[in-house]
Amino acid sequence: MTQDNAPLHATGPAPLPGYDGRGFTYVARPGRVVFGTGTLAQLPAEVDALGASRALILSTPQQRGQAEAVAQLLGARAVGIFDGAAMHTPVEVTQTALAVLGDIKADVLVAIGGGSTTGLGKALALRTDLPQVVLPTTYAGSEMTPILGETEGGVKRTQSSDRVLPEVVIYDVALTLGLPVAMSVTSGLNAIAHAVEALYAQNANPVVDLMALEAIGAISAALPVIVREPGNGQARSQALYGAWLCGICLGAVGMALHHKLCHTLGGSFGLPHAETHTVILPHALAYNAPAIPGVMARLARVLGPDPARALFTLAAEGGVPTSLAALGMPGDGLDRATALALANPYWNPRALEAAPLRALLARAQAGAPPMLEERA
């Protein structure tokens, strides 16, 4: 018998490039995906196929207009709109939405937007087990995962449950054409973070590895084009395709240091979600680099010889913040953030140590690029 993650051919010839012979477990997540341009028109048929007839439409306040357009498309199937979705899925917002849900007796949730709206839909599904249809307008990727992060009392807690996995996701490239450039860049790098961590997750496997590298390559190639030509449909399609794959990766394997730090900074310091992922990603990858040489070599094939620096440059050239200070992180909060990140131990390929973590956060706070010294 072979132990988990032990090479299957340790006594045979050296493995070929690519799959390294590790044992693994792979679990495919259920869900229906409709991808294309103009696919929003299929929403009524998808709701009907779920056997539902009373939809509550979810959005943020800023996307109320899109929610109203969805309601018009659904006609009599739409029985209400809740436009209070907020970052980090505050429990108090969920409680308010639950009251609306009960009043209108909805039998399906239709979420249009990014991670905030998807998170609210998941939080409601966790409590009601109602089916969800998600219409992503960003590259968040959370619509493909059974993961829910909720904030209460200044702390963000994450859980995984099949109850929160959406039943249907309709990707319509047309819904992303108006996504502002800065939000496109941070949302895209947020998605890339899911795929990067999937490559070195404790339960990584070769199926997810293939999707992760494809996703990282697709988004990293599309973002510079979107920066120059925001209405470029081909680049938008490629970015959305990559985001879909990134979401699958996050939903199939575990998380490590990067997501722990981002959940800490977002939930306890109120930092914006995608922007925080954008700032932390290069530094978290640099921290783990000594423990994952094989992953770094594969990332180099799609990002260039220094993957961590390439991700930092992608953000900088996209014109988005590269420092935590620019996101509102107080300088005197770094010690607390370090302590919170070390609380409730979790798996990471490199051991978590207070001093190197504090140095990582200090570099991210200042907006300095990831450095070799940080990886020593």
Does 15 reside within a domain? no
Q: Is there a domain that residue 341 lies in?
A: yes
Query: Is 2 within a domain?
Result: no
How far, rounded to the nearest angstrom, does the alpha carbon of residue 194 sit from its chain's CA centroid? 5
Residue 374 pLDDT exceeds 80? no
One domain for residues 159 and 217 = no
CA 299 from centre of chain: 18
Q: What is the CATH number of the domain that holds 39?
A: 3.40.50.1970
Total residue count of the chain as it appears in this document? 376
> In 85-122, which positions are buried (b, 16+ CB within 10 angstroms) versus exposed (e)?
bbbbbbeebbeebeebbeeeebbbbbbbbbbbbbbbbb
The answer to whether residues 274 and 171 belong to one domain is no
pLDDT at position 176 = 97
244 in the same domain as 110:
no
- Any domain includes 7: no
Q: Considering the domain boundaries, does residue 17 fall inside one?
A: no
Q: Report the percentage of the chain scoring pLDDT > 90.
A: 79
211 and 155, same domain (yes or no): no
Of 11-20, 24-33, 227-236, 263-272, the range with the lowest mean pLDDT is 11-20
5, pLDDT greater than 70: no
What is the CA angle 48-106-251, rounded to 5? 75
Task: Give how far Cα 51 sits from Cα of 57, 106, 149, 298, Å.
Answer: 17, 12, 28, 44
149: β partners: 158
- Nearest CA to 204 among 242, 145, 147, 249? 249
Alpha-carbon distances, residue 286 vs 148, 216, 283, 311, 357 (angstroms): 27, 17, 5, 11, 11
Q: Domain check: are 187 and 172 in the same one?
A: no
In-domain check, residue 212: yes
CATH of the domain at 194: 1.20.1090.10
Q: Which of 157-171, 194-208, 218-232 has the highest mean pLDDT?
A: 218-232
Within 10 angstroms of residue 231's Cβ, the number of other Cβ atoms is 9
Amino acid (1-letter code) at residue 39? T
* Contact assessment for residue 130 and residue 106, using Cβ atoms and an 8 Å cutoff: yes
The 3-class SS string of the chain reads CCCCCCCCCCCCCCCCCCCCCCCCCCCCCCCEEEEECCHHHHHHHHHHHCCCCCEEEECCHHHHHHHHHHHHHHHHHEEEEECCCCCCCEHHHHHHHHHHHHHHCCCEEEEEECHHHHHHHHHHHHHHCCCEEEEECCCCCHHHCCEEEEEECCEEEEEECHHHCCCEEEEEHHHHCCCCHHHHHHHHHHHHHHHHHHHCCCCCCHHHHHHHHHHHHHHHHHHHHHHHCCCCHHHHHHHHHHHHHHHHHHHHCCCCHHHHHHHHHHHHHCCCHHHHHHHHHHHHHHHHHHHCHHHHHHHHHHHCCCHHHHHHHHHHHCCCCCCCHHHCCCHHHHHHHHHHHHCCCCCCCCCCCHHHHHHHHHHHHHCCCCCHHHHC
Summarised one tens digit per residue, pLDDT across range 95-139 is 999 999 999 999 999 999 999 999 999 999 999 999 999 999 999
| 176, 208, 238 - which closes a domain | 176
Q: Which pLDDT value is given to residue 164?
A: 96
Average pLDDT over residues 243-265: 90
Q: What is the mean pLDDT of residues 221-234?
A: 97
Provide the edge-to-edge strand list for the sheet that holds 168-172: 32-36, 168-172, 132-136, 108-113, 55-58, 78-82
Classify residue 88: in a domain, yes or no.
Answer: yes
Residue-wise pLDDT for 273-299, tens only, equals 899 999 999 999 999 999 999 999 999
* d(C-alpha 39, C-alpha 357), whole Å: 44
Q: How confident is the model at residue 18, as a pLDDT?
A: 61
Same domain, 228 and 100: no
d(CA 172, CA 212): 21
CA–CA distance, 324 with 361 (Å, rounded to integer) = 8
**Residue 149 in this model has a pLDDT that exceeds 50:** yes
Say if residue 336 is in the same domain as residue 366: yes
Which residues neighbour 351 within 8 Å (Cβ) at sequence distance 6 or greater? none
- 206-228 helix and 293-303 helix, angle to the nearest 10 degrees: 40
Residue 309 lies in a domain: yes
Host domain of residue 281: 181-375
Structure tokens that stand for 203 in this block: 């339960």
Mean local confidence (pLDDT), 255-262: 90
Last residue of a domain, one of 138, 156, 176: 176
Domain end, chosen from 136, 151, 176, is at 176
Token couple for 371: 């450095």
pLDDT tier at 372, thresholds 50, 70, 90: low
| Mean pLDDT to the nearest integer, 151-177 | 92
Provide the mean pLDDT of the chain. Answer: 91
